[in-house]
Amino acid sequence: MMDPAEVALYERLRRGGVSERTLRAMAAAPRVLFAPAGAEDRAWADEPLALPAGQTVSQPYVVGRMCDLLRLDGDERVLDVGTGSGWHAAVLARLAAHVWSIERHARLSALAERHLRDAGIDNVTLVVGDGAAGLPARAPFDAINVAAACRHRVPPALLEQLADGGRLVAPVDGHLWQIARHGDRLRRTRQEGVRFVPLVSDAG
């Protein structure tokens, strides 16, 4: 039996337009397993949760929207920037073939590793480093998810590592942007307003 609060959360996201496939992926990576100790009772609220190091577990509606914007079919190789608790990466992992997720705080990456193990998710590779540089050794990626706020532009390295036909989603200056690559051309579409903790990078 699912917690009624969990059912209510998915119903709220469904009304907001999140797809059934993404809702099933969320149910298969329950957010309560990624909630910080002591915050389990707020896991089913549609709001961010505080993590160590001043970071947050993202809001469920925003995670749902971002997953839908990546249009994943199940066979994609995905790059996720900003692992945090690992929850967003876990939902992506239920929607795609493999996820590489980068986090700059080693302590958060270690926490995420524990959460992913508890959730029984084995198709996420965690990397500690600067996600603004992407992961050139594993590129190109069919989908790239940026879970930290970019200032003015998406880091160019990430756009370079996006496969032909691939999609990227990122918060830039307060809005979500969906960027699709068609050969050398990028098609950018602005989506709803969102708030994220900043992407912190030395890569410029």
Residue ranges in contact with ligand SAH by CB under 6 A = 55-58, 81-82, 84-85, 87-88, 102-105, 108, 130-132, 147-148, 197, 199-201
Other residues' Cβ atoms within 10 Å of the Cβ of residue 20: 9
Handedness of CA 84, 86, 128, 167 (dihedral sign): negative
Q: How far is the CB of 183 from ligand SAH (least distance, A)?
A: 28
Query: Of 47 and 164, which has the nearer Cβ to ligand SAH?
Result: 47
Tokens of 126: 């965690």
The HSE-up count of residue 40 (CA atoms within 13 Å, CB side) is: 6
Query: Of 16 and 184, which has the nearer Cβ to ligand SAH?
Result: 16
Q: Is 48:148 a contact under the CB 8 Å cutoff?
A: no
Query: Of 38 and 183, which has the nearer Cβ to ligand SAH?
Result: 38
b/e 63-78 (16+ beta carbons within 10 angstroms → b): bbbbbbbbbbeeebbb
In the annotation, is 101 catalytic? Answer: no
Query: Of 182 and 200, which has the nearer Cβ to ligand SAH?
Result: 200
Query: Of 13 and 197, which has the nearer Cβ to ligand SAH?
Result: 197
Q: How far is the CB of 105 from ligand SAH (least distance, A)?
A: 5
* Long-range contacts at 44-52 (CB < 8 A, ≥ 24 apart): 44/3, 44/5, 44/6, 44/8, 44/9, 45/5, 45/9, 46/9, 46/12, 46/13, 49/85, 51/84, 51/85, 51/108, 51/111, 52/105, 52/107, 52/108, 52/111
Q: How far is the CB of 86 from ligand SAH (least distance, A)?
A: 6
Annotated catalytic residue: which of 58, 85, 101, 109?
Answer: 58
Q: How far is the CB of 200 from ligand SAH (least distance, A)?
A: 4
List the catalytic residues. 58
